[in-house]
């Protein structure tokens, strides 16, 4: 069997809906303060249901470690009048990659 056939995603729609709703509710109830927690929860679910070349991925990032970055990025957004927003997406993807590896 070639490597392409060993890559797949095994998450289900019901799980995705529940995790998305839970994240939205928590974020809304905390006025966005817990958004890093919701983001980590959703990303962890996505990554841990992904298998590439027969190897399952795992995510070990925490909301607390993201929260520190989130506060820093928010500060930089404010003092640059939003210009830093162009880099926030890249910084977030970098943080995700640094916290993702194979089991």
Parse the chain into domains and list their residue ranges: 3-102
What is the reported pLDDT for 43?
96
Other beta carbons within 10 Å of 6: 12
Structure confidence at residue 4 (pLDDT): 58
Instruction: Tell me the C-alpha distance between 83 and 91, whole Å.
Output: 14
pLDDT band of residue 36 (cuts 50, 70, 90) is very high
| Residue 35, pLDDT above cutoff 70 | yes
Q: How confident is the model at residue 5 (pLDDT cuts 50, 70, 90)?
A: confident
Asked if residue 20 has pLDDT above 90, the reply is yes
User: Alpha carbon of 23 to those of 35, 65, 99: distances in Å?
Assistant: 8, 18, 20
Averaged pLDDT of the chain: 92
| Residue carrying the six token digits 């298998």 | 51
Q: What is the pTM (predicted TM-score) of this model? A: 0.83
Per-residue confidence (pLDDT) for residue 2, from 0 to 100: 56
Q: Could you read off the pLDDT of 51-79 as tens digits, one per residue?
A: 999 999 999 999 999 999 999 998 999 99
* DSSP string covering 54-77: TEEEEE---HHHHHHHHHHHHHHH
């Amino acid at each position: 069997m070639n490597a392409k056939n060993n890559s797949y995603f095994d998450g289900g729609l019901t799980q995705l809906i529940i995790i998305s709703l839970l994240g939205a509710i928590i974020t809304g109830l905390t006025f966005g303060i817990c958004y890093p927690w919701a983001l980590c929860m959703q990303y962890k679910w996505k990554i841990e249901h992904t298998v590439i070349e027969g190897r399952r991925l795992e995510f070990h990032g925490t909301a607390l470690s993201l929260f520190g970055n989130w506060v820093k990025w928010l500060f930089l957004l404010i003092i640059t009048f939003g210009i830093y927003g162009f880099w926030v997406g890249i910084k977030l993807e970098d943080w995700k990659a640094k916290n993702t590896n194979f089991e």
